[in-house]
Structure formats: C-alpha cells, structure tokens
Chains A and B, each alone.
Chain A
C-alpha cells in the first residue's frame, strides 16, 4: 500500500503530478481543495484562516481554535482515505500532516518558474508583470500559511523524503520515479506504521468531535491516542467542561478507552532511552503530579557520523503525537538527488528503548501527554518543539548511549545549553531534577539558612529603625546619599531573594506550586 503526499506552492503543478501518479498507481488522487470544501460545509471557518494569513492578522485565540479544527478535519479525512488503500494526496504543505508514518512518501515539487508564469498568465488572464507579482505574493502568503499552521517554513527540506525540481525533470518522469519508489520496501506498510496512522487518525477524530461540539469547542484540550486509548488533557479551569468530554466524544470507531486528565502544564522528557523503572521516571512522574502536568515523551537520537546530513525527522511530536512502539532503523545514506533512503532491513522487534512501556505507565498514572520520536541533529529537536505547545520544563534524560561516559556527559551538557538558548523554556538534565524541583533534605537546610539570613537582615533593620531612616533620608547623610541608594539596591533584592526563596521552598514542600 502506498500513500504519496505531494506538496507544492503551485496548485496546477501538484495537481498534474498527482493525477499522473494516481493513474500509474491505479488509485485515486485527492486534493486539499476537495477536503477544504467539505470542511467549510461542516462549518469550519477555513476561509477565515486563509484571509487571516492574507491580511497578516495578529494571532488570536479564536483563530488558534479554528486552526486546530481545520487540522483535525484534514488529518481525519486524509487518514480515512489512506486507510482504505493507495492514495495520492496533494496540497500546499500537507506533508506535515502525516508525520511519523513510515509508509507515507512526502514529496516536494518545485514548479518550473517560466511554465508557472505562463500558466498563471493563461489561466488568470493576467499580463506577465501581474502574473509574476501574483506568484511572488502568493508564495510569501503560502510561506506564512505554513508557519501559521505548522510552525515551519513551506519548503523546509527536512520534512520531505524527496524533492523534485521540475526544471530538470518532466512531470511524466517524476510520476514514473514516484511510482517505482512506492514499490520500495521502505514505503510498504508495517504493523508499526499502520498503528501510527491509526493513532493519528483516532486522535484527529476525537479532536474534530471535541472542536466542533458546542460544549467543548471553546476549551483547550490536548488529545493523544495510543492503540485505542485516548488521553484527553484539560486545564483545571475547565474541569466543568471535562465532565462533558466522554459524552461529547461518544462512541468513536477504534476508541477503546478514553482517559481525561487534568493538566495545568506540560513537561517534555527528551531522551534516547526511557525506563519506567528508573528513578528518573519516578521523579518526573512525581513532579508531574505536583505540577498537575502532563508528560510528553520525545525519543531523540543522533544517527551515526556520516550517515545523514542535516537531519531527518521521520517521526516528530506534532499536535497529535502518535506513538510507534517499534523503532525504525536509522536511514543509512542519502541519495544525492533528494532524501531517498536506502533499503534497510525492516525488523519488527527493534527495541524502542522503553518509549512504549514508559508511555503505558504514564497513561496509567493519568499523566500522559503524548509521545514521539525524532532523529537527526540537535536542530531537529527545536523544530519538533516549535509547535504551539507550551512546556514549562524540558527534562533531558539518557542520551548518546553509544558514546563513552565522559563524552556523554559533555554532549548532554551541550544539548542542554543549546536548547536553553533556543527554546526559552527551562531545560534541565535528569540528574539535577531531584535537587532543583523535588524538595529533599538539602532543601530543608536551604530553607533554614534563608530564614536565618532573613531574620538577621530584618532584625537589624527593625532594631535600628532610626539609624536606618536617618541614613536613607536624614540631613546628616544628605551628601552621602549615593550610599543610601546603593544600600537599598543591595539590601532589598537580597532580602527578597532570601525570604522569597524560603517561602517558595516551603510552599513547594506543601506541594503548592
């Protein structure tokens, strides 16, 4: 079974290639435009989104919800069709819809510029200058669209398996190449890839239902699915809505169980391997319990040297993290023409380094927020993070397992500081989690020390009130008032720091955070 997804800025080009390929494969082709009409007819304001991008409107809450609805609808529609058999789907940047499904071929088509201009001139009956202006405006709109909807640029190459530049290849040949590529073993369905697609589909179905029902349409819910188990997390402020969730979702094909979890925030746990019996798991779960957070798992690993350039995201955490319980072998080399992976042995029992087991445990604890895998350079993590999820903490777990212990420590530190710089979220190495966020004996000492310091400062000020005020404002010191300013600038933050630290820790001990 082959699913080929063709993205291009030019509608005509992608339509032609899709039709050509569909004929060769003997299957149907489906376009974004078809889905769009269906979406609009069910009341999803797709037009509003498009115009918002055109007019560069500031992002608003309402647009974000329309966007979520649109994404759920499109994902659902594509998954539905793809599950029935071969499918060629084409759109602007639809390759970002079905991420992490190994039997999906994601293709980018770069139109031949001159032909595109002529097409536009003929189809739109515009003169050449207007046609060129139209194309350049449209391309910048489309790039904005891609950033708005998926958080990445339109032609970001790392999300494609293959790029065709029609300057050098005809549509006919491109279709033929894709047709034979679809026969490659890499792109055949595997139990894992089917499961990943089902997860994505199920999550999209649930999200679509929630997004269009009047009771839940206004709520910010996060949905993830794993093998028929759907986890929906909601914010505490929406606990009333949460009660209605099971009724709204109702009976959905493929959903065996629906778990609603209250989550105030998200913790992202990035690691190469996970272990549900490790102390780090206990700590992360404990922290999630304290914070009311959902934990999202991201398995990240670097391919060995020389294997891949630039990084290849083949399973990324998106808005609907699907989990693939068996790891895909790392692609070994890159074809010079694009990103065609070499044939590799596809074995089902490649360990996923505990990802599925850890997810399982988190679901049981009601703390699961999704899971995904990503391979490539450090930058790929940042790309994976650039969705609109808000994380309040990123925990770095076991990484670089193939390196020596010393090198591992250094690389882990590297990646921590790299992420800190890039994502503006607190990033912490797993070993330091206990110390930083989970109160222990050391914290009691710190509380005691802080309180003592506070008591000394406060005591000094309040037993020497007159002297202090005289120093700050009295006439005797008027010529030395720079000292007063300095004194305040030092003493006030110090007192605030000591006392604030102590109260913060005490409240933390009481699990008030």
Chain B
C-alpha cells in the first residue's frame, strides 16, 4: 500500500490475514456467548495488528451491520422487542454515532502534522482511553454483581430505575412491551450515550443493555431483544457514516466474517450448556483482560504523540505485551466455551440423559 491510502490501510500479509480470521472467530464465539458485543475483542485485536483505530472501529461496525442483517441467531429473541423503546433510543443514538464519528475523524485528520507524531495516534489514544474507561466500569460492576450474590439469584437491582421512576420529568412515556414508564429525556440521554459509545469503540450493547435493565427497569429478556433490534440500525447508521468518511476497510470486514460467522454459532450453543453464573463470570473476566491489554498499549500512543519520553523501540514491547495479553484472554475464554460446547455435544450424542426410576404402583 502506498500514497495516502498507505497511511490509512495496512498491507495484509498472510499471517495478518490469519490473525484477523482468528480474531473474528474468537470475537464471534464471545459475541454469540454473551449475546452482543464481540467488538470489545475485535477492535483492540485489530489495533494490535497495526490497524488504525478509526479503521478498526469502522470495519467492525460494518461487520456488525452485516451480521445483524443476517441475524439468524437473533431469531428467537425477536419476540421480546419493544419497538417503541428502540425507536426513541434510536432518535438520539443516531446523534451519538454522528458525534463519535465526527470526533474520531477530527482526531485522525489532525494527527500526523509533521511534529514527529504518528498519523492516527491521537485517534488511537482516544479510542483506547474510552475503551478502557467504559469497559473497566462495565466489567467491574459485572464482576461485583456475580461475586456478591453468592449463588442467590435475585433479579437485577431496580434501585436506579426506581429512583428515576420518581423523576417525573414530562413527557413520561409508557412502553407496553417492557411495561415501564420512563421520562423521554432519560431515554434520549441514554440513546445518545449508547450511540456515542457504539460509534467510538463499536460496543453499544454493553451500555444499552445495562442501561435498559438498570436505568429503565426493563426485564432482561426485553432489554436483550430490543438491543439486538437497535444494533441493526445503529450498525447501519455507523457504517454509513464511516463509509462516507472513507474509513471502512472491506478486506478486514470480510476476513472477520470468515471466523465470526462460524464462531457465533458455537458461542450461541455455549449459552445453552454453560450455567448462567459462569457465563457472567467468564464475560466479566474476559472483558477485564481485554481492558488490561488495551491499557498496556496506551503508553505507545502517548509516546507517538510526544506526551511521553520513552524510547521508540519500546513501542514494540508494549504492543507485543498487549497483543499477547489479548490473545491469551481471548483464547482462554474461547477455549472454556468451546470445551463446554464440545463436551455437551458429545454428551448429546450419547442420546439424551434420560433416566427413569420406577416408583410404587399407582393405586
């Protein structure tokens, strides 16, 4: 690759292609398993390969859009969509995405102005920072949730929802499927946040779903269903925006598909065979490790922006460590899921575990 395009897109060697396919596969397994997301693994994975952050996010959103269009895995959950809620969130989510694209574009264009700063490092740093901040909060609260409950399966806390329920900031809208009443302003705000994050790091579901559950008090199943519905439109809108700015690397998207569309089936299967607490624990740990991995990469971007005076030769170490960490967490998480999937698959082959026990004769 040469010319202006060379700054934007990387050359894809055979080994890089293989790695992207693998990243796609792991991301697919995780996203099938968790229900949404997967970008939290794929975006940093691509950035570690030297892909510009903006391009990684753009290709990822495009990938997400296509996946949602196929959407076979989402079929069963579609019954639980509150379309009205989705519509209202979408109103501002679009704005949020637009904002995210605008910021990313600005940072990318302003970088690399000849002061020794590397082109795109500003955007990379920004994406990494948002990624680390948001996902560490998500992962830690998830972890706290799982660990504090000691086996007791109380439903999600509705405290925030109850608190907000008392804020009668008209107009308050009643959502019939979810059966909640929420102030329009709260929804619009959450939509904006969801859209912004979806646009910035390609991970909207992690914010959208908890927001709906904890802030609006929507039942979990409806939240997940609505999010899937929402993701389709947000993915489309994000894709259009990034494509317009010329950041989508079609090759990346395609390579991701090779792995992810296989992985997603296995991940979805995994949900059926791994128990719920384990799912949440594994998710939290995997996300946390991804966050850590991204955190390790940050000094390199700081150096590239001349904020940090360290030897440029260290970049490789930071990146290498970050990459290793990411792969270890992804492969370990994926391995755990696949181990369970194949075990259950083998078990099922031995017919159903049906057993019967004669009782006393009926009177």
A–B contact, 8 Å CB criterion (strictly below)? yes
Residues of A within 8 A of B (CB): 57-63, 218, 228, 235-239, 242, 246, 251-262, 264-265, 289, 292, 366-367, 392, 423-426, 457-458, 461-462, 465-466, 468-470, 472-475, 478, 481, 484-485, 488-489, 491-493, 495-497, 499-501, 503-504, 507, 512-513
User: Is A262's CB under 8 angstroms from B240's CB?
Assistant: no
The interface residues of chain B lying within 8 Å CB-to-CB of A264 are 272
With beta carbons under 8 angstroms apart, the residue of B75, B79, B218, B352 that contacts A261 is B352
The interface residues of chain B lying within 8 Å CB-to-CB of A469 are 1, 5, 9, 249-251
Q: Point out which of B154, B156, B243, B275 has the most chain A C-beta atoms below 10 A from its C-beta.
A: B243
The interface residues of chain B lying within 8 Å CB-to-CB of A235 are 272
The interface residues of chain A lying within 8 Å CB-to-CB of B69 are 493, 496-497
Given the interface contacts A469-B249, A492-B65, does A262 sit within 8 Å of B275 by beta carbon? no
| Size band of the interface chain B makes with A | 35 or more
Determine if B269 is an interface residue (Cβ-Cβ < 8 Å): yes
Minimum C-beta distance from A406 to chain B (A): 32
Q: A489 to B65, alpha carbons, bound, how many Å?
A: 9
With beta carbons under 8 angstroms apart, the residue of B153, B158, B348, B362 that contacts A62 is B153
The interface residues of chain A lying within 8 Å CB-to-CB of B250 are 461, 468-469, 472, 488, 491-492
Stretch at the interface among B121-129, B140-148, B189-197, B257-265: B257-265
The interface residues of chain B lying within 8 Å CB-to-CB of A462 are 251, 254
The interface residues of chain B lying within 8 Å CB-to-CB of A259 are 354-356
Determine if B304 is an interface residue (Cβ-Cβ < 8 Å): no
User: Is A218's CB under 8 angstroms from B240's CB?
Assistant: no
User: Is A481's CB under 8 angstroms from B246's CB?
Assistant: yes
Q: A232 to B348, alpha carbons, bound, how many Å?
A: 17
Q: A240 to B261, alpha carbons, bound, how many Å?
A: 31
User: Is A246's CB under 8 angstroms from B4's CB?
Assistant: no
List which B98-122 residues lie within 8 A (CB) of chain A: none
Q: A228 to B356, alpha carbons, bound, how many Å?
A: 13
User: Is B254's CB under 8 angstroms from A262's CB?
Assistant: no
Given the interface contacts A256-B361, A497-B70, does A492 sit within 8 Å of B62 by beta carbon? yes
Minimum C-beta distance from B182 to chain A (A): 12
Q: A461 to B358, alpha carbons, bound, how many Å?
A: 64
**19 interchain pairs, CB-CB under 8 A:** A60-B154, A62-B154, A218-B153, A237-B272, A237-B273, A242-B353, A254-B363, A258-B357, A259-B355, A261-B354, A366-B352, A468-B250, A469-B5, A469-B249, A472-B246, A484-B246, A491-B250, A507-B262, A512-B269
User: Is A484's CB under 8 angstroms from B79's CB?
Assistant: no
User: Is A426's CB under 8 angstroms from B75's CB?
Assistant: yes
The interface residues of chain B lying within 8 Å CB-to-CB of A236 are 272-273, 344
User: Is A485's CB under 8 angstroms from B265's CB?
Assistant: no
User: Is A503's CB under 8 angstroms from B262's CB?
Assistant: yes
Given the interface contacts A61-B153, A473-B246, A484-B243, does A237 sit within 8 Å of B276 by beta carbon? yes
The interface residues of chain A lying within 8 Å CB-to-CB of B67 are 496, 500
Minimum C-beta distance from A269 to chain B (A): 18
User: Is A258's CB under 8 angstroms from B359's CB?
Assistant: yes
Q: A289 to B352, alpha carbons, bound, how many Å?
A: 8
Q: A254 to B361, alpha carbons, bound, how many Å?
A: 7
Minimum C-beta distance from A450 to chain B (A): 11
Q: A246 to B261, alpha carbons, bound, how many Å?
A: 40
The interface residues of chain B lying within 8 Å CB-to-CB of A475 are 4
The interface residues of chain A lying within 8 Å CB-to-CB of B266 are 512
Q: A43 to B78, alpha carbons, bound, how many Å?
A: 37
Minimum C-beta distance from B263 to chain A (A): 9
Shortest Cβ distance from B178 into A: residue: A58
Minimum C-beta distance from A46 to chain B (A): 18
A-B contact sample (16 more), CB < 8 A, given A260-B356, A366-B352: A58-B155, A238-B275, A239-B353, A242-B353, A255-B362, A258-B357, A260-B353, A260-B355, A424-B79, A472-B248, A473-B9, A473-B248, A488-B248, A492-B65, A496-B257, A496-B261
Determine if B247 is an interface residue (Cβ-Cβ < 8 Å): yes
With beta carbons under 8 angstroms apart, the residue of B72, B158, B243 that contacts A489 is B243
The interface residues of chain B lying within 8 Å CB-to-CB of A484 are 243-244, 246
User: Is A257's CB under 8 angstroms from B358's CB?
Assistant: yes
The interface residues of chain A lying within 8 Å CB-to-CB of B78 are 424
User: Is A513's CB under 8 angstroms from B269's CB?
Assistant: yes
Q: A36 to B68, alpha carbons, bound, how many Å?
A: 48
The interface residues of chain B lying within 8 Å CB-to-CB of A485 are 240, 243-244
User: Is B155's CB under 8 angstroms from A246's CB?
Assistant: no
The interface residues of chain B lying within 8 Å CB-to-CB of A265 are 76
Minimum C-beta distance from A205 to chain B (A): 12
Given the interface contacts A58-B158, A62-B154, A499-B258, does A472 sit within 8 Å of B243 by beta carbon? yes
The interface residues of chain B lying within 8 Å CB-to-CB of A289 are 352
The interface residues of chain B lying within 8 Å CB-to-CB of A493 are 65-66, 69-70
Q: A239 to B257, alpha carbons, bound, how many Å?
A: 33
Q: A251 to B357, alpha carbons, bound, how many Å?
A: 10
The interface residues of chain B lying within 8 Å CB-to-CB of A495 are 66, 254, 257
Determine if B360 is an interface residue (Cβ-Cβ < 8 Å): yes
User: Is B153's CB under 8 angstroms from A492's CB?
Assistant: no
With beta carbons under 8 angstroms apart, the residue of B70, B219, B269, B359 that contacts A496 is B70
The interface residues of chain A lying within 8 Å CB-to-CB of B273 are 236-237
User: Is A425's CB under 8 angstroms from B79's CB?
Assistant: yes
Q: Point out which of A59, A237, A468, A470 has the most chain B C-beta atoms below 10 A from its C-beta.
A: A237
Minimum C-beta distance from A209 to chain B (A): 13
User: Is B217's CB under 8 angstroms from A262's CB?
Assistant: no
Shortest Cβ distance from B344 into A: residue: A236
Shortest Cβ distance from B357 into A: residue: A246
The interface residues of chain A lying within 8 Å CB-to-CB of B355 are 246, 259-260
Q: A265 to B75, alpha carbons, bound, how many Å?
A: 14
With beta carbons under 8 angstroms apart, the residue of B79, B218, B240, B261 that contacts A503 is B261
User: Is B247's CB under 8 angstroms from A256's CB?
Assistant: no
Shortest Cβ distance from A457 into B: residue: B254
Minimum C-beta distance from B7 to chain A (A): 10
Q: A218 to B351, alpha carbons, bound, how many Å?
A: 26
User: Is A252's CB under 8 angstroms from B243's CB?
Assistant: no
The interface residues of chain B lying within 8 Å CB-to-CB of A513 are 265, 269
Shortest Cβ distance from B8 into A: residue: A473
The interface residues of chain A lying within 8 Å CB-to-CB of B261 are 496, 499-500, 503-504
Given the interface contacts A246-B355, A469-B9, does A481 sit within 8 Å of B244 by beta carbon? yes
Shortest Cβ distance from A458 into B: residue: B254
Determine if B22 is an interface residue (Cβ-Cβ < 8 Å): no
The interface residues of chain A lying within 8 Å CB-to-CB of B153 are 61-62, 218
With beta carbons under 8 angstroms apart, the residue of A242, A425, A470, A504 that contacts B265 is A504
List which B7-23 residues lie within 8 A (CB) of chain A: 8-9, 12
The interface residues of chain B lying within 8 Å CB-to-CB of A473 are 5, 8-9, 246-248
Q: A235 to B271, alpha carbons, bound, how many Å?
A: 11
The interface residues of chain B lying within 8 Å CB-to-CB of A465 are 12, 251
The interface residues of chain A lying within 8 Å CB-to-CB of B258 are 499
